[in-house]
Structure 1
Amino acid sequence: MNRKPSFLGRSVFTILSTWSLFHNAIVSADLPTTKLSNGIDFPLVGLGVGNLQHELIESQISHGLSTKMNYRMLDTAHASHNENIIHTGIEQGLSSYAASLQDSTDGANSTVHVITKVWYTHLGYERTKISVKESLEQLNSPNISVHLLIHWPRCRDDVPWMDCEAEENLLPQYVKDAGPPPHLDKDHAYLESWRALEDIYMGKVKLGTDLPLITSIGISNFDLPEIKELIVHSRIVPHMMQGNSWSYVFDPDLIYFLYRRKIHFQVYNVMNGIYERSGETPLAFRALGDIARALSAFAKTEHGRDIRYTEAQILLKWFTQNKVSVIPRTRSLDHLEENSPEAVGSMPHLTPEEEEQVSAIVRSMFEGHDFDQPQASFINAASEKVHLFWKDLDGMEHPVRTDLEDGDVFDTATHTGHVFVAYDDSQLKRKEFQVTATYNQVEEIHIGELLEEL
């Protein structure tokens, strides 16, 4: 089956595709993975549990680690106060996983990557050591690979939900005693945190004899000037950068810089930021559904898989196919399976044209500017008056314009695949035209000599 979707127009994806072309990553036949710059194999599809209700975490993780879904990457933060629950969920899930294989000694696919973060109240060298130590104590397991990020470079006065002084006052005394308040040194505290992460990662600082090593270190919610400043003062370039999905679409300078520095990019806010805004841009969302249906038809025709892919899965496939990891959060077991590494990894690849389409769709949904409906512009060059009809799926013809004079132009909104029929003035000759234009396109249809005799 040859899938050749119509082209929506060039977009920022043209720049972003550099990441796909050159980044050192792979998408396996089953589970999408990449390699971090330190050589660690890293899953591209994970589960965000940072803000998930505590009573749901163990169950979600246990289900997610099953052979049916194969989640092997979880995202949280020390400030979420759930690392101990995640540890329990992983141990329970892997126990069930081993039992399902009927081989408790089977070690294949048993490592779970957990990303956790240092909150901005713990910025600074000594405070960061405390945060990391507490995280490692709660996540201490031979089955868990821990990745440590700086959550924010600073507490910001312009963000309504951040209250620097109030949060500082609520800290335990031992944290206050470890170092100065980071909100009083916003330009340097995060650099000291990075120095601490480097020392811990390189083994220069021992936080405890029985604590695991850090698998990688990285940053989150940094802008480009902050990343450049950090790298100037660093001994290790961050292995990973976590950021809003908005950045991937609208900040190509950031994405290109990360590619040049071999910093893996991971996005959050895919569902809330893009998918849940579908009501604001119904035509763009319909275009996303068209791609999902095309991919479903391809899977059935080429691989015999009778499956209906969803719009959400197309978004996840788009990111992971371009070597960007995703961490969607859900409370639904159905969505947990739908968003899983097994589900996304088994999807057919998007064509380059489909990737370009998704880029335009995502931009439209983010901006809240919907697509224009496909337009057909009929130009009468038949040297006579013609009558224009629309042909429905039952073959019935409905008048659209019954007096199109020679040289006249008639514009109308339409849909891809619609069939129009033109008759000469005596209705003895006819000609059919099928619209190929898609959203945001205008297709010119020239009505020349009507050759088909009735």
Structure 2
Amino acid sequence: MTKILSETTRLSNGVDMPVMGMGVWKSSNTDACNAVRAGIKHGYRLIDTAKQYGNQPGVGVGIQKALAENNLNRKDLFITTKVFNGDQGYQSTLDAFEEQLKQLRLTYVDLYLIHWPVDGKYIDTWRAMEKLYHEGKVRAIGISNFDEERIQDLLDHTQIMPQVNQMEFNPLVQEKDIMAKMNSIGMTMEAWSPLGGGEALSDPAVQAIAKDHGKTAAQVILRFDYQMGVITIPKSIHEERLVENSQIDDFELSAAEMDQIKALNKEKRSLWYDKFQWHTPHTDDAVSDAVDHWDDVKDFLA
């Protein structure tokens, strides 16, 4: 295990969360299961999934196998999942959560997030999550893809401040305004798409910095995210890449190098509210609320 995989940050409610973990978006149940087993073997303790990914059953099997294979206990892991857009609302969130626990083969999750702030529903969804929190079924609750206005709306109408906001964050999308809002109230930023895709990885500045440190472009970007104080969950189904992603605690980016990468910021998100049917219902090409379907799911259901 590299040092960074054992490092944690303390959330506003006192729960310690790993600063680096692994995601499983766009992975089949088989791939997610195998990746989780490999990741835990190599020291990953934070696993991030969601109902929308359609691979919670595979993640659940992977967790159980990895615990046995590595002589670990459930409390050694930090498992995150999310409220699916189509399940939002008070009672529907409570009902959906029980099914998610069943699919994950768990009795609790460490962090439960609202996946997107569905118009007219996210307040009731949050109140249901507060109930789950008070009942001890989740150790921390948070949000994902919330802008400053919606963060403030939650703060004004609910009791518990979200501990985490998971946003698209990488050298090309640095969420400066949202980060400032979160820092002002003690909310932790977590990054999805922390590598920024091919445009960021192939940027000449990133490539030059990587060469100077004898590291890959991906390692440089993950180190940048880390030094920005952002929790990262890069996704890979390849064991060697999982190991490589974690090898970022043996070098440090200088202030000048950090400034070079900060200068790449475009604040151009790949997905935002206007792309969703719940926000623009009359848009022909809007994204619908659908769970990814994998033909192998039947092999992983309890």
TM superposition score normalised by structure 2: 0.80
* Change beyond 3 A, Cα 1:139–1:278: closer
The 3 A distance-change label for structure 1 pair 247 and 257 is farther
Please report how far the alpha carbon of residue 30 of structure 1 lies from its aligned counterpart in structure 2 after TM superposition: 6.1
Shift of 1:289: 2.3
Residue 197 of structure 2 is aligned to residue 262 of structure 1: no
Is 2:260 the partner of 1:357?
Answer: yes
Could you tell me which of 58, 83, 93 is aligned with 1:128?
A: 93
Corresponding residue number in structure 2 for 1:320 = 226
- Aligned AA for 2:131? D
Q: Select the residue among 67, 77, 96 that pairs with 1:112.
A: 77
Q: How far apart are the structure 2 equivalents of 1:116 and 1:34?
A: 19
CA distance in 1, matches of 2:56, 2:28: 13
After superposition, the CA RMSD in angstroms is: 2.6
Structure 1 counterpart of 2:289 = none
Q: Which has the higher helix share?
A: 2
Percent identity, aligned pairs only, is: 28
Q: Using the TM superposition, give the Cα deviation of residue 266 of structure 1 relative to its aligned residue in structure 2, in angstroms.
A: 0.7
Q: Name the SS of the counterpart of 1:38 in structure 2.
A: coil
Residue of 185, 188, 207 corresponding to 1:289: 207
Alpha-carbon spacing, 1:133–1:43, altered in 2? closer, same or farther (3 Å): same
- Partner of 2:229: helix, strand, or coil? coil
Which residue of the partner structure matches residue 149 of structure 2? 225
SS in 2 for 1:266: strand
Gap change, CA 1:359 and 1:117, over 3 Å in 2:
same
**Tell me, what secondary structure is at the counterpart of 2:162?**
coil
Structure 1 counterpart of 2:245, from 327, 331, 339: 339
Larger radius of gyration: 1
Secondary structure of the 1:354 match is helix
1:38–1:239 CA contact under 8 A, matched in 2: yes
Match of 2:273 in 1: none
Query: Do 2:20 and 2:232's aligned partners in 1 also have CA atoms closer than 8 Å?
Result: yes
List alignment gaps of at least 5 residues for structure 1. Answer: 1-26, 99-105, 155-185, 204-211, 297-308, 368-454
Find the residue that maps to 1:147 and give its secondary structure.
strand
The structure 1 residue matched to 2:126, chosen from 180, 194, 197, is 194
Deviations 1:352-411 (A, max 9, x none): 222112212x327979xxxxxxxxxxxxxxxxxxxxxxxxxxxxxxxxxxxxxxxxxxxx
1:77 corresponds to 2:59: no
Deviation at 1:146, TM superposition (A): 2.8
Q: Output the CA distance in 2 between the equivalents of 1:363 and 1:133.
A: 40
The alignment covers a number of residue pairs equal to 268
Residue 48 (1) aligns with residue 8 (2): no
1:116, distance to aligned residue in structure 2 (A): 0.7
Cα offset for 1:32? 3.4
Q: Which residue of 1 aligns with 2:284?
A: none
Retained in 2: the 8 A contact 1:48–1:74? Answer: yes
Conserved? CA contact 2:170–2:225, under 8 Å: no
* Residue number in structure 1 paired with 2:163: 239
Name the residue aligned to 1:329. 235
Aligned to 1:103: none
Q: Verify the 8 A CA contact 1:288 1:311 in the aligned structure 2.
A: yes
**Which deviations, in whole Å up to 9, do the C-alpha atoms of 1:70-107 show, x marking residues without a partner?**
11111111232322221210121122222xxxxxxx76
Deviation of the 1:334 alpha carbon: 2.2
CA distance in 1, matches of 2:205, 2:163: 35
d(CA) in 1 for partners of 2:224 and 2:127?
Answer: 35
8 Å contact from structure 2 (residues 4, 19) kept in 1? no
Letter in 1 for 2:31: L
Cα shift readout 1:201-228 (whole Å, capped 9, x = no counterpart): 012xxxxxxxx62011011111111111
Work out whether residues 32 and 44 of structure 1, in 8 Å CA contact, stay in contact via their aligned partners in 2.
yes
Gap change, CA 1:248 and 1:34, over 3 Å in 2 = farther
Counterparts of residues 370-381 of structure 1 (less than 5 Å) = none
Offset, 1:253? 2.0
TM-score (norm 1): 0.55
| Contact map agreement 2:173 2:268 (CA 8 A) in 1 | no
User: Which deviations, in whole Å up to 9, do the C-alpha atoms of 1:215-270 show, x marking residues without a partner?
Assistant: 11011111111111111001000011011116984532211110111111111123
Alignment of 1:175-194 (within 5 A): 186-187=119-120, 189-194=121-126
Larger RCO: 1 or 2 (CA < 8 Å, sep 6+): 2
Contact 2:9 2:18 in 1 (8 A): yes
From the two aligned structures, give the one with the greater strand fraction: 1
Q: How does 1:417-428 map to 2 (within 5 A)?
A: none
What is the distance in 2 between the residues matched to 1:70 and 1:192?
Answer: 37
Change (3 A) 1:319 1:250: closer
